[in-house]
Amino acid sequence: MTSYQELGPGLSGAGTHRATLLEILVRAMQAAGATIHWGTPLEKLTRDSTGRPLLQDAHGHRHGPYDLLLICDGASSSLRAQSGVPARVSRYPWGALWFIGLRTPEFDPHVLWQSVSGTRQLNGYLPTGTRDDLLSLFWSLRLDAIPEWRTQPLEKWKRQVLFLAPQAEAFLQQIESHDQMAAAAYSDVVMRQWHGERVVMLGDAAHALSPQLGQGVNLALMDAAALGDALTEHPLPAALAQYSATRRRHLRFYQFATRWTTPFFQSGLLPLGWLRDLAFPILHTLPYMRRQMTATMAGGKLGPFAQMQLQPSPARLPSSTLTRSGEDQSAPRVRFHCMSTNAQHPSDSPVFDVPAQPIEVLTLGESLEAEFPDIPGEEIRQAIETAQKETSFANDLITLKSRVREIIRR
Ligand SMILES: Cc1cc2nc3c(=O)[nH]c(=O)nc-3n(C[C@H](O)[C@H](O)[C@H](O)COP(=O)(O)OP(=O)(O)OC[C@H]3O[C@@H](n4cnc5c(N)ncnc54)[C@H](O)[C@@H]3O)c2cc1C
């Protein structure tokens, strides 16, 4: 068992479902005035005569030209290859089957539980719910073995799962058909830099990796923060160079670490499993090594002997969830467009401009002070502290903030 508290007081991890992150992002985009085009698969990236990016979607509509295009279309990005920035993309032979269900009491809502047998069987349970009490099951499998898995009786597979995780019996009852399990493949995307002329790559489009260390979302969020900082500090071409330079060390470490640890958990190389079972318990007893392993899982390593200074919560709100009164309305303005193949949202969010100034990031306290101007700041801070003690998912701002609101209104 590993705890983030080992890295410093007040530090904790947060298991957050992707839908929660999407919701936070969509709210922030709407508050910032982004126009969101749902159900718009982008197909073509071209340039106008001045080199500015133009897009064409699958419905034949053209978009742009843009001053800057953020390419964040995931591991199988189709825009990356058209951006003119070189990338090497390979696929891991092993992937995983996934199921998200309601957590059963046998699983601790605060623990990521994993079990491995050799290098060919790996089973994990990741609590991902805050509002809904969810649990994600993953089961490692070679991609070319998935068609055969589909033809076998589910009960046979469940017996294999129960061998590794006997406590999963009640949870597994939610799986009644192969179709409830999603298959996931992993890519390894390597780039020397993550920007080109008026284009920049973020998230999996820039650096997809195997999810062995669970870092994909951390890396993507840090990309966004680094790009935001760079655009605040420098004009466009220099900002993009600064973005690539800032991200290089962190991304290199995690790409290297993931590439080298993955075969110890997912491969046909059994001796690596024996080595892992021998070495990991020993490494865990050495305080220095144990801290390094925990820091790696926390996403804060910059190299074998270097790491970031991680700070405890309160987490900071996405900058655009609030705009301050008294903003300079005459400042130059920028218009955001965001396009996604995700079709579950309406496409009619209003067009709205925001100032092209450094965007101010408000802390949770500041945003609540703005929301409750009649409540003294000290009382708000106490409510945040109480809410943080009550919820172990302190980084899930939606849950945390609504709990603070309840306490304040009480
Ligand atoms: C099985 C598995 C388990 C994982 N587990 C973890 C974990 O525990 N922790 C963790 O941090 N990370 C994990 N990851 C990695 C994590 O999911 C990714 O790192 C993260 O989703 C990357 O975010 P992204 O926004 O860059 O890409 P994505 O989440 O892939 O989003 C890309 C978006 O672009 C859209 N899109 C794609 N093509 C187009 C197009 N042509 N036009 C318009 N829109 C398009 C898609 O619809 C999608 O909405 C896991 C990944 C896998 C496969």
Q: What is the mean pLDDT of each run of 10 residues along the chain (410 residues)?
A: 72 70 82 86 95 95 94 94 95 89 88 80 81 84 92 95 93 94 90 97 95 89 93 93 96 92 80 79 81 85 83 50 37 50 36 30 65 86 78 50 80
Determine the distance separating the centroid of ligand 1 and the alpha carbon of 138, expressed in angstroms. 16
Alpha carbon distance, N-terminus to C-terminus of the chain:
38
Q: Is 56 in the pocket of ligand 1 (CB under 6 A)?
A: no
Q: State the pLDDT at residue 314.
A: 54
Closest residue (by CA) to atom 6 of ligand 1? Answer: 214
pLDDT at 349: 29
Residue minimizing CA distance to atom 50 of ligand 1: 211
Q: Which residue has the tokens 């790409």?
A: 255
What is the pTM for the complete model shown? 0.74
Strand order in the sheet with 195-196: 69-71, 199-201, 195-196
What residue owns the CA closest to ligand 1's atom 15? 216
Whether ligand 1 lies within 6 angstroms of the CB of 41 is answered as yes
Protein residue whose Cα sits closest to atom 9 of ligand 1: 214
Name the residue of 204, 209, 338 whose CB sits within 8 Å of the most ligand 1 atoms, as the mutation to test its pocket: 204
Domains in the chain with CATH codes? 4-91+187-307 (3.50.50.60), 94-184 (3.30.9.10), 362-410 (no CATH)
Q: How far apart are CA 239 and CA 169, in angstroms?
A: 52
What 8-state DSSP symbol labels residue 350?
P
- Please name the residue whose Cα sits nearest to atom 37 of ligand 1: 73
| Angle between helices 236-265 and 270-285 in degrees, nearest 10 | 110
Mapping DSSP to helix (H, G, I), strand (E, B) and coil, where does residue 67 land?
coil
Q: Residue 322: what pLDDT? A: 31
Q: How far is the CA of 287 from the centre of ligand 1 (A)?
A: 34
- The answer for residues whose C-beta is within 8 angstroms of residue 371's C-beta and 6 or more apart is 405
In this prediction, residue 353 carries a pLDDT of 31
Q: What is the dihedral of CA 400, 403, 409, 410, to 10 degrees?
A: -140
The answer to whether the CB of 211 is under 6 A from ligand 1 is yes
pLDDT value at position 15? 64
Residue 341: CB within 6 Å of ligand 1?
A: yes
At residue 89, the pLDDT reads 94
- CA 205 to ligand 1: nearest atom: 26
